[in-house]
Amino acid sequence: MRLGYDRSDVDEFFGRARTAYEQPGIPDDFAPFDVRRASFDLKHGGYSTAAVDAALDRLETAFATRIRERFGKEHGPDAWMRDLADRAQGLYPRLRRPSGERFDHPSGLHKGYDAKDVDAILDRLVAFFDQGSPLTADEVRSVTFGRRRGKKAYSERVVDVYLARAVDILLGAQ
């Protein structure tokens, strides 16, 4: 009687993913970012959310690896690294902002992610890019943030999109 992801939704999604993966190219609706955005209704007797989320992470990694390999074959491995570096440069402006000022704050009495928690993962991104410190896509995917209000919080949606872009970069670097 536990809540879990709707079995028919999950089965349908993974069926489409399997079909897409077995094709020579990757359809646009199965880019790694799109896999990450997959969501399912909760139902009693559904699939374990942890197991499905882990499967989604593996699927995202598989599609990202396939894209990297295909790009490398078409353009060469150096071109992939240049493309990855160009995309990573797009993350830098926020990383260079002072802690507590990297994202907009929620308005009014709305809650958001604890700015200190978000800044901690962004500091790890800086260390990854600047010093080669270890950081994996799984670490960024699994990070959780406390909730705050006002200037001690960041708006959740913008942080989520930013971290999704960071995961794409980290997957490409693996």
Rounded to an integer, the average pLDDT of 11-23 is 87
- Whether residue 47 is found in the same domain as residue 95: no
Q: Could you tell me the pLDDT band of residue 26, with boundaries at 50, 70 and 90?
A: low
- Whether residue 25 is found in the same domain as residue 38: yes
- Whether residue 11 is found in the same domain as residue 64: yes
Read off the DSSP letter of residue 100: T
Q: Which residue range is the domain that position 33 belongs to?
A: 3-75
- 132-171 pLDDT, tens digit per residue, is 899 999 999 889 999 999 999 999 999 998 998 899 899 8
> How many folded domains does the chain comprise?
2
Q: Residue 76: its pLDDT value, please?
A: 82
Q: Residue 35: its pLDDT value, please?
A: 83
Q: What is the pTM of this model?
A: 0.77
- Whether residue 85 is found in the same domain as residue 158: yes
- Whether residue 98 is found in the same domain as residue 44: no
Amino acid, single-letter form, for residue 161: V
117 vs 76 pLDDT, higher one: 117
- Whether residue 139 is found in the same domain as residue 152: yes
- Whether residue 102 is found in the same domain as residue 135: yes
Q: Residue 140: its pLDDT value, please?
A: 94
43 backbone dihedrals φ, ψ, rounded to 5°: -145, 155
Q: How far apart are the first and last CA of the chain?
A: 39
Please say whether the beta carbons of 38 and 13 come within 8 A: yes
Q: How far apart are CA 72 and CA 90, in angstroms?
A: 21
- Whether residue 60 is found in the same domain as residue 82: no
